[in-house]
Structure 1
Amino acid sequence: MKLYPTLIDLLKTDPRFVDDDGELVLAAVQDSAWKMDHDLMRLLLANADLEATFFDDIDGHRVFNLNTFIDYISQKDFLDNSYTRFKNRIGLTVGGRFLSERGEVALVWPYKDTVLEGGQTKEEETRKEIFFNEVLAQDEINRLLAPKVLTNFARHAANGTEPVTDFKRDKGGVIRDNLIIKGNNLLAVHTLTQQFRGQVKLIYADPPYNTPGDSNTFGYNNNFNHSTWLTFMKNRLEVAKDLLREDGVLVATIDDNEYAHLKLLCDEVFDRENYLGTIVIQSNPRGRTTNTHFATCHEYALFYAKDIDSVSVNYIKLTKEQELEFDKKDESGDYRLLPFRRSGGTSTPEERPNSYYPVYYNEKKQAFSLEKNEGSVEILPIDKLGKRRVWRQTRPSFLKAVERGDMVCRKSTGKWVVYMKDRVKEGRKPKTIWTDSKYDASANGTMLLKGMFNGEKVFSYPKSLYAVKDTIDILTERGGNDTVLDFFAGSGTTAHAVVELNREDGGNRQFILCEQMDYVSDVTVNRVGKAAVGQDCDFIYCELMKYNEAFMERIQTAKTSKELLEIWQDMAEGSFLNWYVNSAMPEDALRDFEAIGKEPKGLEKQKHLLAELLDKNQLYVNLSEIDDAQFKVSKEDKALNKAFYGNAYDA
């Protein structure tokens, strides 16, 4: 049809509708059509043939016929290239339409009411993950998120690795073992809900920042990069909220690129009323010099309560620099002197009328009073410019400070100045900007970790141990046994921080980590083990039992089209392909597949196609299928799964 090339060429003139290779992105066109995008309408109206095809005339008005347009661009012959022909022949269309246009499943371009797993398994590959972003229909999601079979159990203790025979539980029957679970973090966290729903005090989430550049893990389809990231985060935030106690808190770290969007997303999931605040952490004092305009030296930590009325925040401990400020001492302890007169904002009598009053001081008796006595001088809170200010405290609080011996009066340039003793307390209310040198992610993240691994750089961009440690300290009970969850575990900084805090205050906080990257065995587990040396602290390591996930890993690591063809053959014979896929591998499909490999970024496109063929409900073995002979679950694993899941095992 001659309209095909006309429409395609016209759509390609809009940069929103083409990818990096100049190919048309149908998902972007469809999205604009559904939104009745004005620029798309103008584009179509500019061509008489397209106007006649896609617009109806109603009393002289041109009305866009959405259904006609969507049906037209959804026809299987619309984009007649190797990639499209392969999808048609292998079965990624049903009834002449791509599955991404049907209600059952949305492929490649996710939206906020969908479920996106993410499949990264190796850190810092050129293409971080093959985006198998099939977004499953609601009736399939339950199977995807169902509890998984756990395997490869091992208890890591002070004297080495031991077999796991059982799980420690508290009086309420909740598991108290520290846990490190390897597997897709969305599915791992849903697996945890069986045991830990409503049990977690703090969730520390350090997700991919979605920063433009080589470090971006959401780069497959640039046209939907942002919505992909939002979907990824929304799925995880929703289950995170389910795991939190009523007095629980979520902390999510992020940089400028997605801060505003993450804030709005958290407002939606947790409700704006439960927003506790944002802390700006100076994680890179030197600044990121690769930035174009400003050298970024900070990141954000968003704090959200499950129920803000149930949450309390501890004072943060004083830094060494702050402790040095308390350079004076009396019989009651260390203190520093602060001017009793307020300055700056809200420091006028109009704003604080109860804090404006005369103070009387008798130099001979070194005594304060609120009443004028013989030998006393009147002192008012007047600043150097003669402007009226107020005192730091009201009259009753001032008198109590006098009784404690916490008021001091000294002469300065011929005038009496009132000071109050500010004593060392347990700490200070956490400020919203953290600039202490201990928060430097290079010195106390990268270099600290290298020191633990004999100078070897085993992980990129770890958090400062102390930024995480202080976050946990202000949000968990000191000396208590709160549960801390991190489902973007990385190198294990969160667990390391929990171990350090327990050592300092005698607490028994529990950590639970989820990580899907392969380094979890060599880096995360080893780091936590090293941190726990000399302390009565052990943890259990286990993995979600793989099925189709094993093929995903093979697809991601393949180097040639020939390898991918072999994987395809193995997939057809030994895995669960999606129900609509033709497992016979037609000759025409093979030729199209080979042709795709010769195109720009051909290997990447081939990987993406093979990922689409897999049934994502079978990435890991569901607990409900533990007795299925084809999965070969051992007796030992069955017993440990029963011990882990308890009553849910037989449900």
Structure 2
Amino acid sequence: MQNLLEDLKELLQQDERLVVDGKLLKNKIIELALQLDTSLIKILLKSASIKQYFFQDVDGILVFDKIKFQKFVTNKAFLPDSYTSFKNKIGLIEDDEYMNEGREVVLAWPYKDCVLEGKQSEEDEKLSEFFWNEILAPDEIDKLLSVKVMTSFKEYTSTDIRPVETFGKELNMLIKGNNLLTLHSLKKRFSDQIKLIYIDPPYNTGNDGFGYNDNFNHSSWLTFFKNRMESAYPLLSRDGSIWINLDDTEVHYAKIVCDEIFGRENFIANVIWQKKYAPQNDARFFSDNHDHILVYAKNVQYFKLNLLPRSAEMDSRYKNPDCTSSN
């Protein structure tokens, strides 16, 4: 078994598509194997032991057993720490190549091709999280994101609280729970119907409750954020929009992620709003007194702001008369 492992690793090193920073990418190996990539198969056929183990002779024709190969590669003894096809660095890519400049770019980071099953809550703070790879763990992801049963609905009125047996769209809902699972549970009933989504995710400042235990805290946040943006998108109506409140820590990365999911052409604005009115005297550099709200439309062609009418009090602020000219 050990000799077979070493032989396979040595062979796979010959394919530059499978190597990043001197390390083999398990996810990419499996992807190409399942696609019956001819270059990969030619490399595997170079070794007699590999040929004997992963190929069957059927009337003189060698047939590649991709299922057996997949099971072998997914074994923890083979590349135990490699479960993402993205490099262990964050940067802009185009066609899977990292780049410095380009017109159309997307952000890449470790675990981008995963769903983060967060385990943190007030009761079980900082438990280990799980990254389910979209290619290697589709069953686990489907189970995680399957529709969940919501219970214990209550109606709050101005005078009392009473249980709710059934509810229609005329009732507003406040749902307590994991927001990723909730978004997926709402899809069947509310897809393409939500006019506005406002989300205030953790800022990833180190003291805002986003304290995951892995060594890629920034990557964990990006995966956390991407999962929720992808889940929110199908809920928006054609004229709907999403408003995302963040601070300077992650907003610029979030903008690129949202460009990829919602489309750069559907970006409406980065609304800067003042959150503090007194200077922060203990600030190390500048006093941070603002936050950002990224605004994206589902389809900019149908997006329309609901403008408020001007009041008499607003009009009174203008002292100079409007200038009109005629030729």
Q: Could you say which TM-score interval applies, normalised by the shorter chain?
A: 0.5 to 0.7
> Is contact 1:110–1:135 with CA below 8 Å preserved after alignment?
no
Residue 77 of structure 2: aligned partner: 96
Q: Which amino acid aligns with 2:159?
A: N
Q: 4+ residue stretches of structure 1 with deviation over 4 A?
A: 97-100, 316-324
CA 1:99–1:138 in 2, change beyond 3 Å: closer, same or farther? farther
Structure with higher RCO (Cα < 8 A, 6+ apart):
1
> Is contact 1:117–1:186 with CA below 8 Å preserved after alignment?
no
CA 1:128–1:320 in 2, change beyond 3 Å: closer, same or farther? farther
CA 1:321–1:215 in 2, change beyond 3 Å: closer, same or farther? farther
Residue 154 of structure 1: aligned partner: 154
Q: Do residues 35 (structure 1) and 25 (structure 2) align? A: no
Residue 312 of structure 1: aligned partner: 304
For 1:209 and 1:119, locate their aligned partners in 2 and report how far apart those are by CA, in whole Å.
18
Among candidates 326, 337, 343, match of residue 320 of structure 2:
337
> Is contact 2:129–2:213 with CA below 8 Å preserved after alignment?
no
For 1:100 and 1:292, locate their aligned partners in 2 and report how far apart those are by CA, in whole Å.
38
What is the percent sequence identity of the aligned residues?
A: 37
Residue 166 of structure 1: aligned partner: 166
Displacement of 1:131 in angstroms is 3.3
Q: Do residues 197 (structure 1) and 176 (structure 2) align? A: no
Task: State the secondary structure of the residue aligned to 1:245.
Answer: strand
Task: State the secondary structure of the residue aligned to 1:152.
Answer: coil
Displacement of 1:218 in angstroms is 3.5
CA 1:289–1:157 in 2, change beyond 3 Å: closer, same or farther? same
Q: Which amino acid aligns with 1:140?
A: E
For 2:112 and 2:278, locate their aligned partners in 1 and report how far apart those are by CA, in whole Å.
37
> Is contact 2:192–2:235 with CA below 8 Å preserved after alignment?
yes
For 1:102 and 1:225, locate their aligned partners in 2 and report how far apart those are by CA, in whole Å.
17
1:269-302: per-residue Cα shift (whole Å, max 9, x none)?
A: 0010000011110111224444311000000011
Residue 552 of structure 1: aligned partner: none
For 2:255 and 2:281, locate their aligned partners in 1 and report how far apart those are by CA, in whole Å.
26
Q: Do residues 238 (structure 1) and 235 (structure 2) align? A: no
For 1:319 and 1:259, locate their aligned partners in 2 and report how far apart those are by CA, in whole Å.
34
1:69-118: per-residue Cα shift (whole Å, max 9, x none)?
A: xxxxxxxxxxxxxxxxxxxxxxxx94535765358xxxxx9611211132
Q: TM-score, normalised by structure 2?
A: 0.63
For 1:322 and 1:128, locate their aligned partners in 2 and report how far apart those are by CA, in whole Å.
49
CA 1:241–1:102 in 2, change beyond 3 Å: closer, same or farther? closer
Displacement of 1:158 in angstroms is 2.5
Q: Do residues 220 (structure 1) and 222 (structure 2) align? A: no
Q: Which amino acid aligns with 1:255?
A: D
For 2:242 and 2:264, locate their aligned partners in 1 and report how far apart those are by CA, in whole Å.
13
Displacement of 1:138 in angstroms is 2.0
Flag the structure with higher helix content.
1
> Is contact 2:280–2:288 with CA below 8 Å preserved after alignment?
yes
Task: State the secondary structure of the residue aligned to 1:135.
Answer: strand
For 2:312 and 2:293, locate their aligned partners in 1 and report how far apart those are by CA, in whole Å.
23
Residue 501 of structure 1: aligned partner: none
Task: State the secondary structure of the residue aligned to 2:258.
Answer: helix
For 1:313 and 1:35, locate their aligned partners in 2 and report how far apart those are by CA, in whole Å.
47
> Is contact 1:119–1:184 with CA below 8 Å preserved after alignment?
no
CA 1:291–1:311 in 2, change beyond 3 Å: closer, same or farther? same
Among candidates 123, 127, 132, match of residue 129 of structure 2:
132
Displacement of 1:34 in angstroms is 4.8
> Is contact 1:282–1:299 with CA below 8 Å preserved after alignment?
yes
Q: Do residues 283 (structure 1) and 268 (structure 2) align? A: no
1:107-149: per-residue Cα shift (whole Å, max 9, x none)?
A: xx96112111323322xx9x95323233251232111111011
Among candidates 182, 189, 192, match of residue 188 of structure 1:
182
Among candidates 281, 286, 293, match of residue 285 of structure 2:
293
Aligned pair count reads: 233
Aligned-residue RMSD, C-alpha = 3.0
Displacement of 1:319 in angstroms is 8.8
Task: State the secondary structure of the residue aligned to 1:236.
Answer: helix
1:407-439: per-residue Cα shift (whole Å, max 9, x none)?
A: xxxxxxxxxxxxxxxxxxxxxxxxxxxxxxxxx
Q: Do residues 142 (structure 1) and 176 (structure 2) align? A: no
Q: Which amino acid aligns with 1:206?
A: D
CA 1:284–1:319 in 2, change beyond 3 Å: closer, same or farther? farther
1:497-544: per-residue Cα shift (whole Å, max 9, x none)?
A: xxxxxxxxxxxxxxxxxxxxxxxxxxxxxxxxxxxxxxxxxxxxxxxx
Displacement of 1:317 in angstroms is 5.8
